[in-house]
Chain A
Amino acid sequence: MPQPVERVGRPASPGIFAGPIVELRGPDMPADGADCDALTEADALRDALEVATAELRALHDSAPADAKGIVEFQLAMLEDPTLLEPVMERIMTGRSAANAWLGVLALQIADYEAADDDYFRARAGDLTDLKDRVLRLLAGEADAALPAGAILIGEDLPPSRFLAIDWSKGGAIVLERGSPLSHVAILARARGVPMVTGLGEVPAIGHVEAIVDGTTGRVVLSPDATSRLSLKEAEQAFAAEQKEAARHRSRPAVTADGIAVKVMINVAAPAETEAIDSAHCDGIGLMRTEFLFRDGHRLPDEEEQYRAYRRLLEWAGDKPVTVRTLDAGGDKPIAGLTPENETNSFLGVRGLRLSLARPDVFRAQLRALGRAAVHGKLKVMWPMVTVPEEFTAAAALFDEELAAMRGQGIACARPPLGMMVEVPFPALLPELFPMAEFFSIGSNDLTQYVAAASRDNPAVSGLADGAYPAVALLIRRLAEFTTAHGIELSICGDLGSDVEKVPDLLALGLRSLSVAPAALARVKAVVCRSRLGGGS
């Protein structure tokens, strides 16, 4: 029996499953295939496309309503002469059918992968799915049905293969790449199939069994008795929690003694909101904007940002959406933007400091936000504010851009401006920031600056946890200050999603929490169980 191996990836669909491992393999890459007989290859391609069409039609007929669109798109692609003509042209020059198909599809896929819009980018996965199906057929491999009740481990899982599996017998998905925003992840969440993505290489060889915890992103290969026991407990807790959370999802969060608490969500990419009904939360308490600067090779323009913000505001309807301006630096470097080789990046040019140092990038974001503000209840929040002058400087830049846009006749508005409280200075002296219309506690950074210990470094993370009493004291003082002055206070760090800490946060005086979308229902459930007694 091999030693247990544990990996943690990005949770993509909650739930726990233990079972046998099945490795997912993509189709073999076709040989170079020069000097082939064109007529034979053309026939082979036609046959493969015919079978692929038949397979997809059958899949379409049995697919649930939410998945039919995915299959229809692939069918439409297969029927389009624009896709097939260049493949035939390549075959006529002596390429093998597989080589010609792969070459043309790879160009299409690369085009989608380069798209600015994440919805278009996600279609690369659908085309890869189609590409692999036809390659399999050309190689003479049948559409090897994947077994039910297994943990599928591989680089990626195409949506059509997901749909061909009988998930009623359980199972889980573990992907080396993949994304919580992919079609497969959406389907997995809808069916309650636990899924973890972005694990990097998983050394599954030699292992026959695994445990997958899609709630935390934990995967254990060849689990020992201890892992099994902790799994059983986690499984029971998860089942009980699901049951209770389902009852609370659509209800307002009100404590057992009748105190209303706002529960909002933290969003890292607009597509995350698609699985959530905006009626089930009190808005977005933290919209991160780092996603716009993905890969770091190109800065997004004003128009692209405007569209992304507007889409979120429309999703939220009359509920507030708090957008945090770019928070790069520290553990979130962006090539060409954040300083390189900073000796201590967590104490360096990051967050608002970086935006003020790069007004060209910052102004584009402010203009996009000003334009988006006319479409809903936008609020704008500065990250990593240390001194009041930074807040004032950022607000002045915003006002300049708004005035310029009004001069040009561009529709825009000034949203309420607030700030993250994650540096100890403003946490200790919030009275020096009377210009802030709201505060949101960034408990992750606040904790590590209070403890001078990184939470990501296992050697010192205990110190960060140990600093909680001091962080709690700062939260209590902030709550007292904001209540006395009628300023809104929220928390958007991990503490707010920690169900064990939520009752304590309420006792400290917080009445607004912004939590991870996956934690929304269980945080509401904890709020409803809490009793604050006389104090508020």
Chain B
Amino acid sequence: MSESSAARSVLMKHPVGLHARPSVKLTRLAKSFRCRIEVAQHASGPWIDAKSIVKVMALKAPRDSTLHFRAEGEGAAEAVNALSALVARDFDEDHADAATS
């Protein structure tokens, strides 16, 4: 597959927002792709590296905020789809343990 780019937005419902445990999962998944992946809270940016937990946590994205993903390079479409799906699935967490994460 040649160079490609993709973008996608998803509403985050996680009760405490993009917090420690969700951020660990998000960056881990992002790192499993070779393409460059960025995330932002607004479609106009600023865009930050979705593979960096330091930067993802620094977003301090609260619940009910929209996360925008964009990727460039090998597997860009799969990457944004997988990341959006993770957020849509509420990071595969039940809310009871979200509080201690």
Question: Which of A's residues lie within 8 Å of B, judged by CB?
Answer: 66, 69-70, 72-73, 76-77, 79-83, 108, 111, 115-117, 119-120, 123, 126, 183, 186, 271, 274, 307, 311, 314
Q: Nearest Cβ distance between residue A318 and chain B, in whole angstroms?
A: 16
B6 at interface by CB-CB < 8 Å: no
Residues of B within 8 A of A82 (CB): 49, 52, 54-55
Given the complex of chains A and B, what is the CA–CA distance between A314 and B57 in angstroms? Answer: 24
B16 interface residue (CB < 8 Å to A): yes
B contact residues around A115 at 8 Å (CB): 60
Q: Report the number of A-B residue pairs with Cβ-Cβ less than 8 Å.
A: 64
Q: State the Cβ distance, B9 to closest chain A Cβ, in Å.
A: 21
Q: Are A80 and B54 in contact (CB under 8 A)?
A: yes
Whether A123 contacts B21 in the complex (CB less than 8 A), given A69-B97, A76-B27, comes out as no
**Residues of B contacting A80 with CB < 8 Å?**
27, 52-54
A115 to B59, CA, bound (A): 11
Main secondary structure of the interface of A (DSSP, over half): helix
Which B residues contact A (CB, under 8 angstroms)? 15-17, 19-21, 23-24, 27-28, 49, 52-55, 57-58, 60, 62-63, 97, 99-101
Counting from the closest, the 5 A-B pairs by CB-CB distance are A274-B99, A82-B52, A82-B54, A73-B20, A76-B53
B28 to chain A, nearest CB (A): 7
Give the chain B neighbours of A108 by CB distance below 8 A.
54
Known: A69-B24, A271-B99, A274-B100. A119 touches B54 (CB 8 A): no
- Asked if B24 and A72 make an inter-chain contact with CB atoms under 8 angstroms apart, the answer reads yes
Given contacts A70-B20, A82-B52, A274-B100, 13 further A-B contacts (CB under 8 A): A69-B20, A69-B24, A73-B23, A73-B24, A80-B52, A82-B54, A83-B54, A116-B60, A117-B60, A120-B57, A186-B100, A274-B99, A314-B15
B99: chain A residues at CB < 8 Å are 119, 271, 274
A119 touches B16 (CB 8 A): yes
Residues of A within 8 A of B55 (CB): 82
B19 contacts across to A, CB distance below 8 A: 119-120
A307 and B24 within 8 A (CB)? no
B21 x A77 contact (CB < 8 A) = no
- A selection of 22 A-B contacts at a CB cut-off of 8 Å is A66-B97, A69-B20, A69-B21, A69-B97, A70-B100, A72-B21, A73-B20, A76-B27, A76-B28, A76-B53, A77-B53, A77-B54, A80-B27, A80-B52, A82-B49, A82-B52, A119-B99, A120-B19, A183-B100, A274-B99, A307-B63, A314-B15
